[in-house]
Amino acid sequence: MLGAVRVYLSGPMGAGKSTVAGLVAGQLDTRALDLDARVAELAGRSIPEIFSERGEAAFRALEKEALEALPADVGVVALGGGTVVDDETRQMLLRAGILVTLTAAPEVLAARVGAGRGRPLLGEHPQRDLERIIEGRAAAYAEAHAVIDTSALEPEEIAAEVVAARNLSPIVVPLGLRTYRVEVGRGARHRLGIRAKEHAAGDAILVFDGDDDRPWPQEAVRDLTRAAKPPIEVKLVGDEAHKNVASVERIWDSALDAEVDRRSIVIGLGGGVIGDLSGFAASTLLRGVALGQVPTTLLAMVDSSVGGKTGFNRPRGKNLVGTFYQPKFVLCDVETLSTLPNEERIAGLAEAVKSAWLDSEESVAMLERDAAGLLEGDADATIRAVRMSVSLKSRIVHEDEQESGRRMLLNLGHTVGHGLEASSGYRGIRHGEGVALGMIASMRVAAALGRGRLEETERLTRLLGRLGLPTDLDQRLNSRALEFIGSDKKRRGDRIHFVIPRFPGQTEIAILGLDELRDALGRF
């Protein structure tokens, strides 16, 4: 399924990148290339000569040129130790293939490089210099599909781990030292025990909803028990009506009664409500413990489990109290959708449509091609939709983690959608259904403002209808729903940040007066 995905090996000097690159290439039946050697070849100078004659900045520019012109038959690239320090280059590599950081303890690296001859960045004290280099690059090295400590591993073992990471192909949410990975596919849930143990040395607090016909909580308890010890179980009602502080208190009190410490981890297993409540509880419990997300609804997989938004509802509206708090891992297993009611799964497709419209023409066209399969719950089509949505959100969160700018685009359809949800008491309409209708409302506002075309409104409406989502906005929009828009958390006084969709991949944020928005909606 991965085809000819290129592998990039990053990390400090002495980590074994060149040696491991050759071994990985052998396993994948492809060719390896050492980027430093390629740069030297293109420049007609050795690396020390380039540094001496032209400086590090010129060397980094040559690295970029070499990366942009890699031979097509190269499947594994051993990068220079500082290649990924440049953010633009690093993000390009994360999108272009699988980026793996190889690292080791400074004393191990120092022993491997010896006196450091031919290493322009090393002086008389290689270990001290390596410690400084690693500290300065730590955030960049963390932004990778996998980080492998090579200190106690043989090259063949390192190569095997690299190939495993390549085959797993997680989606990276690159946030420096807080970087985490989203694993999407069949069977991903079974890695819960391993991931929890990797990120927390204390107790696991497993928060899940109470549907007895779903086997996922029992499986999670088993996997966590095998990896460490039985988790603390917190069973909640996972609907919007119970997305309140009382549910958060149940998580807090269950954990505190068990005398957990700050080495613990809260794991949300369920839909978006469970994920939001678990995230808020983790962000505040003992002033912050680790968080893991195992979404079991399509809506949570494509949206709420990624990005770090947490919170709960208040009488004045949805998600008005919360925090930004990133998880340590997210496991999206499409097999868990098998017990989800069909209408709930379909409702989650609205967020995938939102992501596709924000992303590109190619993503919208993909959903149009996959519409029949998505409606029926085809696993491969669903995996494609989830990966597209998570990849988009990853890029946006990297640029704007706390929604001060571009991340507001992810609210496409949500202003009106939340109003429809709140006006029904969170019982008459599902979140995804509200978002679907909210996107149509947004198209209508765009048209009223002269910023949208009828053809795009019709295309979006047609796609939503093919996916089984509601399109009857006129029958559902009422004055009470419009009242709740005034309580939206994106409001600033009597004005609101409103997402205006245009062409796929071309969406903007407008600041509209509340009366202007209501008038635009009322014209239709």
Hey, what are 416's tokens? 């009106």
Assign 100 to helix, strand or coil.
strand
**Separation of alpha carbons 101 and 16, rounded Å:** 11
Inter-axis angle of helices 379-399 and 342-359, nearest 10: 50
Residue 407 designated active-site: yes
With 90 as the cut, is the pLDDT of residue 240 above it?
A: no
Query: How far apart are alpha carbons 488 and 494 in whole angstroms?
Result: 11
Is-catalytic flag, 418? yes
What 3-state DSSP class applies to 127?
Answer: helix
The one catalytic residue among 38, 214, 407, 489: 407
| Beta-strand relationship, 317-324 and 495-501 | unpaired
Catalytic pick from 309, 318, 328, 489?
309
**Residue 380: C-alpha distances to residues 184, 328, 465 (Å):** 11, 26, 21
Structure tokens of 460?
């979006």
Q: Is residue 80 within 8 Å of residue 120, measured between CB atoms? A: no
Active site residue 214: no
| 354 annotated active-site | no
Active site residue 132: no
* 95 tagged catalytic: no
Please identify which of the residues 403, 421, 433, 516 carries the catalytic annotation: 403
Among 263, 265, 305, 303, which residue's Cα sits nearest to residue 282? 265
Judge contact between 330 and 370, C-beta under 8 A: no
Catalytic member of 63, 183, 351, 421: 351
Question: How confident is the model over 247-276, as a mean pLDDT?
Answer: 97
The span from the CA of 387 to the CA of 243, in Å, is 27
Own/partner pairs, 23-26, CB within 8 angstroms, 24+ separation: 23/155, 23/156, 23/158, 23/159, 24/76, 24/159, 24/162, 24/163, 24/166, 25/75, 25/76
Q: Look up 497 and say whether it is catalytic.
A: no
The 10s digit of each residue's pLDDT in 360-373 is: 999 999 999 999 99
328-340: per-residue pLDDT in tens? 999 999 999 999 9
Predicted confidence (pLDDT) per residue in 428-480, tens digit:
789 899 999 999 999 989 988 888 888 899 999 999 999 999 999 988 887 77
| Domains of the chain listed by start with CATH number | 6-169 (3.40.50.300), 180-340 (3.40.50.1970), 399-522 (1.20.1090.10)
**Is 183 part of the annotated catalytic residue set?**
no
How far is C-alpha 38 from the chain's CA centre? 33
As to burial, measured by CB atoms within 10 angstroms (0-12 exposed, 13-18 middle, 19+ buried), residue 286 is middle
38 is catalytic: no
pLDDT of residue 10: 98
pLDDT(156) > 60: yes
Write down the catalytic residue from 17, 38, 418, 444.
418
| pTM score above 0.75 | yes
Please report which confidence band the pLDDT of residue 317 belongs to, taking 50, 70 and 90 as the band edges. confident
Does the active-site annotation cover 45?
Answer: no
State the chain's mean pLDDT as an integer: 91
pLDDT at 399 over 60: yes
Angle between helices 379-399 and 361-376 (to 10 degrees): 140
C-alpha R_g of the chain = 25
